[in-house]
């Protein structure tokens, strides 16, 4: 899965990577969580003949896809991830997969390795080469009962590559830069035509850095959440004893 990620590249770096003609300034974000606004890039309307401007547009979406047919969002789960396996058959994602495939720029993501402790060990997982990467995203516009519309989105996931499978068995799908046009082209590329792009990254693509549990709290949004750290075992709770009681004496109470 992918429940937290970061985008710390500059606005210019992100725009150049995604092939956007323009992009509003945004701050570095170190701890992006579901329900927060996230930047995504979609195929835009066709440009006029002779134009050399890119036909991609940037939008902000709520991270957590809501299909158009949902009546009551309070009774609908938060779909911040979409499993790539079987995505064509899932009612929640079929429309977005056909009409609004997107790129989600990121500097890396966080994952938690569970080993029996309640919290688990968080890892900051980033590309070894550095720079910006793009997750495969889906977008759906949801019309609220009051009439206003809200763009919502999810990140596609796949099985984890061998290099990070010891941390978690899932990872976000990374779209290679040379495949951006194919993935975004919903006019001529049917969903079945781009399924081959929904695969794990190469085993040595990412590096995983253990970090402290600061990242667990969405309120922690600074660069310190990416500093190396190890989450130690949780201290045992001390059993409170009645005054005057002997810990070696049996009691009925």
Residue 251 is assigned to a structural domain of this protein: no
Report if residue 238 sits inside a domain: no
Does any domain span residue 72?
yes
Answer whether residue 177 is part of any domain: yes
- For residue 119, what pLDDT is reported? 76
Mean pLDDT confidence for 6-22? 96
CATH number for the domain including 11?
3.90.1680.10
Residue 165 CA, distance from chain mean position = 17
Given a contact cutoff of 8 angstroms between Cβ atoms, the answer to whether 232 and 123 are in contact is no
Residue-by-residue DSSP string for 121-178: EEEEEEETT-S-EEEEEEEEEEE-TTS-EEEEEEEEEEEPPTTTTTT-SEEEPBPPGG
Q: What digits encode the pLDDT tens for the residues 92-150? A: 999 999 999 999 999 999 999 998 756 799 999 999 999 999 999 999 999 988 889 99
User: What is the reported pTM?
Assistant: 0.89
pLDDT at 170 over 90: yes
User: pLDDT tens for residues 34-74?
Assistant: 999 999 999 988 777 777 777 899 999 999 999 999 999 99
Average pLDDT along the chain: 90
How confident is the model at residue 247, as a pLDDT? 42
Q: Domain range holding 92?
A: 4-226
In the chain, % of residues over pLDDT 70: 90
Tell me how far apart the terminal alpha carbons of the chain are, to the nearest angstrom: 46
Q: What total of structural domains would you count in the chain?
A: 1
| pLDDT at res. 147 | 83
Question: Do 113 and 166 contact (CB within 8 A), yes or no?
Answer: yes
Mean pLDDT of 152-181: 97
In a domain, 249, yes or no: no
Q: Is residue 248 part of a domain?
A: no
In a domain, 9, yes or no: yes
| 237 assigned to some structural domain | no
In the predicted structure, residue 241 carries a pLDDT above the cut 60 = no
């Amino acid at each position: 899965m992918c429940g937290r990620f970061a985008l710390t590249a500059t606005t210019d770096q992100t725009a150049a990577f995604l092939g956007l003609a323009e992009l509003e300034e945004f701050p570095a974000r170190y701890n992006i969580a579901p329900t927060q606004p996230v930047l995504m890039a979609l195929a835009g309307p066709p440009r006029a003949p002779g134009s050399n401007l890119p036909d991609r547009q940037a939008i902000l979406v709520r991270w957590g896809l809501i299909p158009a047919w949902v009546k009551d969002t309070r009774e609908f789960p938060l779909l911040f991830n979409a499993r790539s396996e079987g995505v064509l058959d899932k009612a929640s994602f079929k429309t977005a997969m056909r009409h609004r495939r997107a790129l989600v720029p990121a500097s890396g993501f966080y994952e938690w390795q569970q080993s029996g402790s309640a919290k688990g060990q968080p890892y900051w997982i980033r590309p070894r080469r550095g720079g910006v990467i793009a997750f495969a995203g889906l977008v759906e516009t949801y019309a609220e009962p009051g009439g206003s519309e809200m763009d919502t989105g999810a990140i596609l996931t796949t099985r984890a590559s061998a290099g990070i499978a010891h941390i978690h068995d899932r990872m976000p799908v990374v779209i290679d830069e040379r495949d951006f046009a194919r993935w975004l082209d919903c006019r001529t590329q049917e969903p079945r035509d781009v399924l081959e792009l929904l695969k794990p990254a190469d085993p040595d693509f990412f590096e995983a850095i253990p970090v402290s549990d600061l990242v667990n709290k969405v309120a922690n949004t600074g660069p310190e959440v990416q500093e190396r750290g190890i989450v130690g075992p949780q201290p045992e709770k001390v059993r409170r004893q009645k005054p005057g009681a002997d810990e070696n004496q049996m009691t009925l109470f």
